[in-house]
């Protein structure tokens, strides 16, 4: 029992030390963007709704999670944090990806083993997007 407690403590320490990923810089910029979330309603099914964030004039919708590990070289700069229902969550950060402009990463700080969520640009619905190999689709109806 004591060995299990030590192992749990060690794992907890490792998660704290690794922060939001292997070499990923999740530091907020001096003037972070506050990403106010909205509800996106699918134009083909009014009962199919998604969380929406907007960046640089484009709408982004949830697409997937990590297929394999996410490395620092995969993630660009941190843009800001999420505001949902008027509540600021500075521990839920939005970052650029280095491989494509069609996706953003939502990275959770101090959330233990919670995986990043990747948002895909709404203007790529029905089109082929350059999806990095580390992104695993969660097979949402909007992307089928």
- Contacts of 36 by beta carbon, 8 Å cutoff, 6+ apart: 53, 83
Q: How far is the C-alpha of 123 from the C-alpha of 56, rounded, in Å? A: 13
Question: Residues 32-91: pLDDT tens digits?
Answer: 999 999 999 999 999 999 999 999 999 999 999 999 888 889 999 999 999 999 999 999
Taking the model in full, what pTM does it have? Answer: 0.83
Residue 106, SS3?
strand
Domain limits, the chain = 20-143
Residue 4, SS3?
helix
* The Cα angle at residue 64 between residues 63 and 66, in degrees rounded to 5: 155
Name the band, by pLDDT with cuts 50, 70 and 90, for residue 135: very high
- Contacts of 93 by beta carbon, 8 Å cutoff, 6+ apart: 20, 26, 28, 78, 79, 80, 81, 82, 106, 107, 108, 109
């Amino acid at each position: 029992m004591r060995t299990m407690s030590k192992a749990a403590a060690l794992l907890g320490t490792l998660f704290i030390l690794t922060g939001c990923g292997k070499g990923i810089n999740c530091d907020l910029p001096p003037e972070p963007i506050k990403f106010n979330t909205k509800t996106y309603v699918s134009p083909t099914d009014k009962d199919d709704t998604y969380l929406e964030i907007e960046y640089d004039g484009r709408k982004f919708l949830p697409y997937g999670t990590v297929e394999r590990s996410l490395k620092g070289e995969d993630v660009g700069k941190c843009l800001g944090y999420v505001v949902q229902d008027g509540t600021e969550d500075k521990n839920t950060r939005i970052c650029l990806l280095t491989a494509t402009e069609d996706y953003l990463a939502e990275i959770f700080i101090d959330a233990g083993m919670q995986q990043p969520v990747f948002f895909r640009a709404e203007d790529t619905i029905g089109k082929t997007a350059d999806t990095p190999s580390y992104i695993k689709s969660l097979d949402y109806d909007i992307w089928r």
